[in-house]
Structure 1
Amino acid sequence: MKNSLILKNWIIILFLFASTSYAQQKDLLLEDIFKNYTFNQKSVYGINWMKDGKFYTTFASLDNGDVAILKKNILSNEVVDTLVTNSELAIFLSNPYFRIQDYSLSSQENQMLISSETESIYRRSSKSYYFIYDLSNNTIQPVSENEKISNATFSPNGKMVAYTKGNNIFIYNIATNNTSQVTNDGEWNKIINGSSDWVYEEEFSIAKAFFWSPDSKKISYFKFNEEDVPVYNMQKWQGLYPKDYKFKYPKAGENNSIVTAHVFNLDNNKTSTINTGSNPDIYLPRMQWTTQDGVLSIIKMNRLQNELEIIHYNAVSEETQTILTETSDTYVDLDFNDKLIYLQNGSFLRTSEKDGFKHIYLHASNGEELQQITSGNWEVSSLIGINEKSKTIYYTSREESPLETTLYSIKTNGKSKKKLSTRKGSNRANFSNDYKYYINYNSAVDQPYYITLHSSNGKMLKVLEDNKNLLSKLNDYKLGKKEFIKIKSDNEELNAYVIYPYNFDENAKYPVLMQVYGGPGSQLVVDSFGRTRDFWHYYLANQGYIIVCVDNRGTGGRGRKFKHSTYKQLGKLETEDQINAAKEISKLPYIDADRIGIWGWSYGGYMSSLCLLKGNNVFKTAIAVAPVTNWRFYDTIYTERYLQTPQDNPSGYDEYSPMFLADRLKGNYFIIHGTGDDNVHFQNSVEMVNQLIKSDKQFNSFYYPDRDHSIRGGNTSMHLYQMMTDYLRNNL
């Protein structure tokens, strides 16, 4: 490895496991990864912080195989009470098959809302049987008798539960056991009340679209009128005759739902409609009650998402006021980690990319900017929250490296910044409601979850989970080395990693398999412990492949310019970067330049297809799983954010759509898709196959009946990865 062209660009060298002196005897098998789940990390989950600041509740598996919800002392982590067990509830309900799947406590902490038999709808939505368990008298009652419902949520006063069913909103009164209906016009594929439509759920990360007011007297909600949204028909291949599943899916340039905002008053059963402007072709991605009595905050964006407004609505006067507007020559980013945090005096915290990097800002209640709290050529990853008493804000950032996530605190005046996390890699924090304590979830490439309890000043109080058993188990396997490197492309340094075979010989010649995702704001090259797909890469490395992953231009963690560089031309710079990286790698003396392959899933499937077609003199083989092959087939919110509409930017859609480049195929191409993919429709692969046939190109394809975008369930993952492994053995 002394002659490596990449070596000069190293930023850090990491080994998958520190204890390399131990005899590593076992060969890594696919069954270890996908059947036995040998390398799954243990975690601490189901955390609910209790309001007295001394306890929290959590899920736990008992020695007898039962599942319990436990109350634990924060400082000692000792169990002070077993609130309920699964077996107890099964007896109460005379249902031996009952299983607790999730729970939440009322604000008074005397009742628990428990879900069971949860059935997934789309990525974030589901429906379940819900029960209220009274902790004071050990009684249980269903929220909706013998019916699955969605989004069940306690009112702040703990007296009611609101939920959605049949596209309508309902309120269940716990004391009287009566249910009232808030909306009545809900209808499948026409009107949705209190839940989001498909595209909002997928791209704005919301499933529940109603919100209790702090005084429990009002419910605000979104109404989606999707009557004019085109229907996508997805067949389900079960039974003697396949069934049609038709749902509204707005593809780029097509009609969106008309979304309106409303407030229902429980005192008089009246509903008010909020004025959000005369243009119905807008997005309303966020809604929340502020700390000011009766004031509701709504985020509004235009169709192209290059203008964002924060609107305040007074539920008493029914007046609206736009208090802040942000515009961009590309798009205003609004991701899953963005928070609008209102302080008791009505001021609020938000994040913005407006100075070139995502940072935290403090605004007055009228929207005036009071303070840019963080600054620098690095990104805030997430705004976690604030302890108002000490005026301390908690956040994570990429300040130390785009590959790492570090926890910090800072005062509201932008001073006294303090690094709280002490372990390298990726850190995520879950703070108690009073911000006195937090649980830190750390992992690194050589460390599975290391979960610790801390006081708010960063002092570690207790280790909750160290995954020592997993670390010990890993030492029994032959696992290769992983290095983080930098690769140049068009004068831009790209973050990347390489995984070498366990028995790497620099005098031998190795084929390369590149993994790619590459979509806007994404990151694969991060210092965190691997998941199942990552261990497949270690398996392939031990089969004689070198694995390479490059975060191309357009990916996240490196600022606005880097991320927004792909605006209006998705696929162009990303593909150039992957091809350039492959060319650089091919110069290494131990690389077989004639055997370079690439694979990816979703956006990564789009990229692997495009790389093989555009780089047909570089790549020998590509595997595309659930790929987008034409951006005209994908949804409005995501696609138009980065490409504008097909009407405004037709060349941006067509010049880098794999479908229209099928005649360039020279190498080995394997396209895989689930027929039940509600996200990236099977249509993408069908039309790609049609174009390949038209161009007289030979290829391989495989479909998974009724599997969704994740292509999993039962033996599916094992089958998929075995199939891809065999394909690589024969074609790379």
Structure 2
Amino acid sequence: MKINYIFLLLLTGFVNLTLAQEKEITLEEIWSGAFRTSGMDVLHSMNNGQQYTVLNRQAGSVDKYDYKTLQKVETIVSASNLPEVGRFSSYEFSDDESKMILATQVESVFRRSTLGIFYVYDIASKKVTKISDNKIQEPTFSPDGTKVAYVFENNIYIKDLKSGASTQITTDGVKNKIINGVTDWVYEEEFGFVRAFQWNAASDHIAFIRFDETNVPEFSMDVYGSQLYPQQHVFKYPKAGEKNAVVSLHLYSLNADKTSEIELGNYTDFYIPRIKWTNNPVVLSVQVINRHQNELDLILYNAAENKAKIVLKETDKAYVDVTDNLTFLEDNSFIWTSEKDGFNHIYHYKKDGSLLNQVTKGPWEVTNYYGYDKKSDRVFYQSVENGSINRGVYSIKINGKKKKSLSAKEGTNSAKFSADFTYYINTYSSATTPPMYTLNEAKDGDVIKEIKNNNDVKEKLENYTTSPKEFFTLTTQKGHDLNAWMIKPADFDAANKYPVFMYQYSGPGSQQVANKWNSANDYWYQLLAQKGIIVVCVDGRGTGFKGADFKKVTYKELGKYEVEDQIDAAIELGKRSYVDKDRIGIWGWSYGGFMSSNAILKGNDVFSMAIAVAPVTSWRFYDTIYTERYMRTPQENASGYDDNSPINHVEKLKGDYLLIHGTGDDNVHVQNTMRMIDALIKANKQFDWKIYPDKNHGIYGGYTRLHLYTKMTKFVENTLLK
């Protein structure tokens, strides 16, 4: 009896294990966050280099930890002790770390911009000061910690933390007309920043950009809401070839209580994508780029002498990418990154702009610059030296010698260094390893100890039927070697024929084929694979991290070479014995939707179906900065715009086509989809479509994502599994 009982237990366990391993991923699990990994929220390295702080969202506190022991030293501030503040969502220290700005009641404006109620917390006295009763933007400490500058209703204000008085330093701000100190829509979206003012080191000057949007055309969106009548959201949006805001640079002197315009030189129709004070409190650096974005000047403006001088000029036959890596060293020499040798690398210049040396060299890209440590005379950076789908952390002497690899594991490594470059926290993941966080020695990369892992997510996935993501190089008939990955059904049998569903984004400089842990979409691909579909992703020409020539081949022809590569990739896949070449589909979102639309039209004999979410259907509908960077203006390059826009190829549609868009998309306007629909109807082409009222470019909120992916899943099943 005992033996039989044990046998029964073993048999039961085996059956349960088998059933557990056959559990299938559901859409409900994906979009409820069942496979979500945990990270380290809003980490800040303290000035002493030995401690760091983390925002504990669950407890509503900012906690200080010791790097060496990883033990919590103290709770600096807790929402439970600040009833007048309540829950805060972010924090920022003053330079001397004696005060903090705490953000509450934050609401989004556009993708990066927010409004909120902010408080200053004095750590020693535990005193709380409300910066303004109004919802404001971008509150920022002066370097001496005595003041906070912020923007309210397009004007800049300064609050004196000692007296409590607020001073308004600009007065001409008007919605949809004049903006001071924060960016307009197109700068925010395409140059990636919101705060357009900067304190100098002496805390006695503020430099700021002013935007005159008066002549920029307006765009309006109906907001349907829940009231009897919809409302209109009207904002300035410069479409390709239209007028931009007129930008100017200004300097406010706190001592003189005076604002003056900075004369940068003889520029017309230009952008100011970055401003940054040097270590000299009277010298401001300014990056100015022409409208074509193929000539970028680094200007140093001396406020004491009221003189501006170009110290560095970058030019390119296609376009110059704006760098965030400009770093001024103690002697005001500076670090700069550039693609001028064909790959993105680090350069060291004297303060007058003459080249000291190229710090990194090779047929690979620097993907992140972490900083320079004077003590060890080393530059720390991230690159793709170990293959374009991987990321490693490295250090090198500023003279370009004695390079060290600080990453032991192949995959995606990224570093957050302590202020004194003694330690760094490494975030590592790969296609098979969820994010793990380790404390490392900066001098050699040695792991001191593990901080956090996500093994629980990996163990949970072991109960599900999943397939490995297989990386490979796909070579097209034209001879182009393209990074790719493939997910096959778990019960894959090479003797069978499978449909293929391709995913891509394909935008300039982007990357989707990367050796890192799953995104939410990867779980969807696993779900589709278990339904009997092979899922493939290919990064074609125009994507990033393989050199400037590979990336910039699409210049003035967006949607030509990238589409060719997706069609050619599908043809190569169709030659494989286990692929049903008559059932190949493709999908994408935003630029990827533009691509999938083009693919089913220009590749109508290759692709049998396509899904396009929030697609650009004509580059004439998109904004100036992004579109003209790669296409110039429609007036200069009409054929480049029209020959490669899906809206002009609708008569070629043969397969099944699904269009999806949100009506509240301020980025890629629903106009793109509505005009595409109109063109398809005029061509008498059948298609499917789905509109999400008031949803923005991300199409999310509540059950929205679940609804969206349910729709797409059914469409995939009905077209590829029929």
User: What TM-score range do you get, normalising by the shorter chain?
Assistant: over 0.9
Q: In structure 1, the residue corresponding to 2:649 is in which secondary structure?
A: helix
Identify the residue that residue 505 of structure 2 maps to in structure 1: 517
| Cα drift, residue 542 of structure 1 | 1.0
For residues 487 and 51 of structure 1, what CA distance do their matches in structure 2 show? 48
Show CA shifts across 1:684-723 (max 9, x none).
0010001001100011111111111011111111111111
| Cα drift, residue 53 of structure 1 | 1.7
Q: Would you say the 8 A contact 1:292–1:344 is kept in 2?
A: no
Show CA shifts across 1:636-677 (max 9, x none).
111111111111111000000000101111110100001000
Identify the residue that residue 12 of structure 2 maps to in structure 1: none
Among 331, 343, 363, the residue aligned to 1:345: 331
Identify the residue that residue 471 of structure 1 maps to in structure 2: 458
1:529 has 2:517 as partner: yes
Matches within 5 A, 1:353-364: 353-364=339-350
For residues 200 and 451 of structure 1, what CA distance do their matches in structure 2 show? 34
Gaps of at least 5 residues in structure 2 are 1-16
Identify the residue that residue 65 of structure 2 maps to in structure 1: 72
Identify the residue that residue 692 of structure 2 maps to in structure 1: 704
Show CA shifts across 1:361-415 (max 9, x none).
1111111111011111111111111012221101111111000011100011100
For residues 117 and 724 of structure 1, what CA distance do their matches in structure 2 show? 35
Among 658, 676, 698, the residue aligned to 2:664: 676
Higher deviation after alignment, 502-511 or 554-563: 502-511
Identify the residue that residue 362 of structure 2 maps to in structure 1: 376
Identify the residue that residue 212 of structure 1 maps to in structure 2: 199
For residues 447 and 201 of structure 2, what CA distance do their matches in structure 1 show? 34
Identify the residue that residue 401 of structure 2 maps to in structure 1: 415
Among 18, 32, 39, the residue aligned to 2:35: 39
Higher deviation after alignment, 276-285 or 393-402: 276-285
- The verdict on how the C-alpha distance between 1:485 and 1:270 changes in structure 2, with shifts beyond 3 A counting, is same
For residues 520 and 370 of structure 1, what CA distance do their matches in structure 2 show? 31
Identify the residue that residue 8 of structure 1 maps to in structure 2: none
Show CA shifts across 1:405-431 (max 9, x none).
111000111001000111211111111
For residues 21 and 426 of structure 1, what CA distance do their matches in structure 2 show? 33
For residues 698 and 21 of structure 1, what CA distance do their matches in structure 2 show? 45
1:584 has 2:580 as partner: no
Identify the residue that residue 539 of structure 2 maps to in structure 1: 551
| Cα drift, residue 21 of structure 1 | 11
For residues 158 and 243 of structure 1, what CA distance do their matches in structure 2 show? 42
**Which has the higher relative contact order, 1 or 2, with Cα contacts under 8 A spaced 6 or more apart?**
1
Instruction: Give me the TM-score of the superposition, normalised by structure 2.
Output: 0.96
For residues 81 and 144 of structure 1, what CA distance do their matches in structure 2 show? 29
For residues 286 and 322 of structure 2, what CA distance do their matches in structure 1 show? 13
For residues 44 and 461 of structure 1, what CA distance do their matches in structure 2 show? 17
For residues 265 and 238 of structure 2, what CA distance do their matches in structure 1 show? 22
For residues 188 and 523 of structure 1, what CA distance do their matches in structure 2 show? 37
Determine what percentage of the aligned residue pairs are the same residue.
Answer: 46
1:161 has 2:158 as partner: no
| Cα drift, residue 85 of structure 1 | 1.9
Q: In structure 2, the residue corresponding to 1:409 is in which secondary structure?
A: strand
| Cα drift, residue 23 of structure 1 | 6.4
Q: Would you say the 8 A contact 1:258–1:280 is kept in 2?
A: no
1:727 has 2:720 as partner: no
Among 105, 109, 132, the residue aligned to 1:117: 105
For residues 98 and 335 of structure 2, what CA distance do their matches in structure 1 show? 32
- The verdict on how the C-alpha distance between 1:259 and 1:33 changes in structure 2, with shifts beyond 3 A counting, is same
| Cα drift, residue 481 of structure 1 | 1.9
Q: Would you say the 8 A contact 2:50–2:418 is kept in 1?
A: no
Q: In structure 2, the residue corresponding to 1:448 is in which secondary structure?
A: coil
For residues 173 and 461 of structure 1, what CA distance do their matches in structure 2 show? 44
For residues 22 and 384 of structure 1, what CA distance do their matches in structure 2 show? 47
Q: Would you say the 8 A contact 1:22–1:475 is kept in 2?
A: no
For residues 537 and 22 of structure 2, what CA distance do their matches in structure 1 show? 27
Which amino acid is 1:664 matched to? K
| Cα drift, residue 22 of structure 1 | 11
Matches within 5 A, 1:281-430: 281-334=269-322, 338-430=324-416
For residues 351 and 261 of structure 2, what CA distance do their matches in structure 1 show? 23
Matches within 5 A, 1:82-161: 82-89=75-82, 91-93=83-85, 98-145=86-133, 147-161=134-148
Identify the residue that residue 231 of structure 1 maps to in structure 2: 218
Identify the residue that residue 28 of structure 1 maps to in structure 2: 25
Q: How many residues align structurally?
A: 701
Higher deviation after alignment, 273-282 or 722-731: 273-282
Identify the residue that residue 185 of structure 2 maps to in structure 1: 198
Q: Would you say the 8 A contact 1:384–1:396 is kept in 2?
A: yes
| Cα drift, residue 117 of structure 1 | 1.5
| Cα drift, residue 212 of structure 1 | 0.8
| Cα drift, residue 25 of structure 1 | 3.4
Q: Would you say the 8 A contact 1:149–1:164 is kept in 2?
A: yes
1:183 has 2:170 as partner: yes
| Cα drift, residue 86 of structure 1 | 2.3
Show CA shifts across 1:249-286 (max 9, x none).
11100001111111111111111211122333001101
| Cα drift, residue 99 of structure 1 | 2.0
| Cα drift, residue 342 of structure 1 | 0.7
Gaps of at least 5 residues in structure 1 are 1-19
RMSD value over aligned CA atoms? 1.3
Q: In structure 1, the residue corresponding to 2:238 is in which secondary structure?
A: coil
- The verdict on how the C-alpha distance between 1:326 and 1:66 changes in structure 2, with shifts beyond 3 A counting, is closer
Instruction: Give me the TM-score of the superposition, normalised by structure 1.
Output: 0.94
Identify the residue that residue 56 of structure 1 maps to in structure 2: 52
| Cα drift, residue 210 of structure 1 | 0.6
Q: In structure 1, the residue corresponding to 2:21 is in which secondary structure?
A: coil
